[in-house]
Amino acid sequence: MRSGDDAPRTPAAQEAQAKDLCLRLLTDRARSRAELAKKLADKGFDEDVAVRVLDRLTAVGLIDDASFAAQWVHSRHTFSGKGKRALAMELRTKGVAPEVAAQALGQIDGDDERARATDLVRRKLRTTSLDFPVDGPGGRSSERERTVRRLVSMLARRGYPQGMAFDVVKSELARAGADTEDRPDG
């Protein structure tokens, strides 16, 4: 640990403190091994102490990156409406191995992703006016295209593929009675 700390310097005491820190962090929410390793490094624990503690916590099942990734994907897809691309980026930043992330992302198929995107667009359309003006600068086409771009952008920010996003928006606007025959440029 850092030299300015008043904490005991023995390896056993450092391991106990590192374990306590990890257990406190795991009380808040599940975390990946890499997240815990970073926190321990940030707090000044030696790498060998951190490895021993993380290995022990992994051995008893308190750290499980596969379980963490599956839980993360389910939660963020279901409750935050994130698409697979956004979830993959989040797992990468959490330090989850690509093969573990791919397995967790496999629980979301194309139909699930499309259904969630449809739900997000429907929710947004509840608060969006679809009464596009016929006359005036830009006219009906301009307002409709602006609405399509906004909805497609909302889905893209959440990690949905652009093609799927446009198809979902077009279908939902048609379902809501808006004319979307022309695809906006750009």
Band of the pLDDT at 144, cuts 50, 70, 90?
Answer: confident
How many C-beta atoms surround the C-beta of residue 48 within 10 A? 11
Question: What is the structure's pLDDT at 149?
Answer: 94
**Residue holding tokens 């679809």?**
130
Amino acid at 4: G
pLDDT of 143 reads 81
pLDDT bucket at 180, cuts 50 / 70 / 90: very low
pTM: predicted TM-score of the whole model, two decimal places: 0.79
Residue indicated by tokens 């016929």: 134
pLDDT at 109 over 90: yes
Decide if 160 contacts 154 (C-beta within 8 A).
no
pLDDT at 3: 46
Is residue 77 within 8 Å of 114, Cβ to Cβ? Answer: no
Angle at 82 between CA 85 and CA 151, to 5 degrees: 95
Q: What is the pLDDT of residue 128?
A: 75
What's the burial of 73, exposed, middle or buried (CB within 10 Å: 0-12/13-18/19+)? buried
Residue with tokens 């497609």: 152
Nearest to 37 by CA among 65, 77, 11, 9: 65
Mean pLDDT of 153-169: 96
What pLDDT, in 10s, does the model give residues 25-34? 999 999 999 9
